């Protein structure tokens, strides 16, 4: 009887530990994704410090939403694309308030390029993650900033 109880406790402990690690991992993936896109936008749109901070916050929120959508609907690509469109539209509204008119026009014209770069990064990131489990945390903290800050 004691062995059965110990086995059940160990099983629940493993399940909860796996769940906790999965949540941290998805946040690290979202942070790495947001960092990559933000750096590209900062460089190409020539953003100032204020705009850079705001774009990082917006991209982190969007990346967290996209990562959650992709994980929840992993087997339904059509639903992922449909849900992501609304997230991208929301990001466009936020960026319109942060960027200058010229910067926003440049961004708006290059949205497909940014999405393609994001998808390419995620494809290479997922390939690298399968080969190296530590790549998530390493990529998320490569900028020297904490990966989970959002204010």
The tally of domains found in the chain comes to 1
Catalogue the long-range contacts made by 135-141 (C-beta closer than 8 Å, 24 or more residues apart).
136/25, 136/28, 136/29, 136/32, 137/28, 139/28, 139/32, 139/35, 140/28, 140/29, 140/31, 140/32, 140/35
Q: Does the residue 17 lie in any domain?
A: no
Q: Does the residue 72 lie in any domain?
A: yes
Q: Does the residue 31 lie in any domain?
A: yes
Start-to-end C-alpha separation, the chain = 50
Q: Does the residue 149 lie in any domain?
A: no
Q: Does the residue 2 lie in any domain?
A: no
Give mean pLDDT, residues 32-40. 94
How far is Cα 43 from Cα 48, in angstroms, rounded to an integer? Answer: 10
The pLDDT value given to residue 83: 92
Give the model's confidence band at 74: pLDDT under 50 very low, under 70 low, under 90 confident, else very high.
confident
Q: Does the residue 12 lie in any domain?
A: no
CA 148 to chain centre: 11
DSSP code for 141: T
For the chain, give the percent of residues with pLDDT over 90.
52
Q: State both tokens at 120.
A: 């390419």
Domain containing 68 equals 26-140
SS (H, E, C) 50-101: HHHHHHHHHHHHHHHHHHHHHHHCCCCHHHHHHHHHHHHHHHHHHHHHHCCH
Give mean pLDDT, residues 116-137. 69
At 108-121, the pLDDT tens digits run 999 999 999 988 99
- Give residues with Cβ within 8 angstroms of 135, minimum separation 6: 125, 128, 129
Q: State both tokens at 12.
A: 């629940």
The pLDDT value given to residue 110: 93
Q: Does the residue 115 lie in any domain?
A: yes
Q: Does the residue 15 lie in any domain?
A: no
User: Which carries the bigger pLDDT value, residue 22 or residue 80?
Assistant: 80
pTM exceeds cut of 0.75: no
């Amino acid at each position: 009887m004691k062995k059965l109880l110990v086995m059940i406790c160990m099983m629940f402990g493993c399940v909860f530990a796996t769940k906790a690690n999965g949540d941290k991992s998805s946040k690290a993936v979202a942070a790495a994704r947001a960092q990559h896109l933000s750096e590209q936008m900062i460089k190409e749109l020539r953003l100032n410090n204020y705009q850079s901070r705001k774009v990082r916050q917006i991209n982190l929120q969007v990346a967290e939403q996209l990562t959650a959508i992709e994980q929840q609907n992993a087997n339904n690509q059509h639903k992922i694309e449909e849900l992501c469109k609304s997230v991208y539209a929301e990001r466009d509204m936020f960026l319109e308030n942060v960027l200058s008119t010229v910067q926003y026009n440049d961004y708006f014209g290059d949205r497909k390029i940014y999405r393609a770069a994001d998808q390419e990064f995620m494809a290479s990131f997922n390939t690298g993650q399968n080969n190296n489990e530590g790549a998530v945390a390493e990529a998320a903290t490569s900028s020297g900033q904490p990966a989970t800050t959002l204010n």
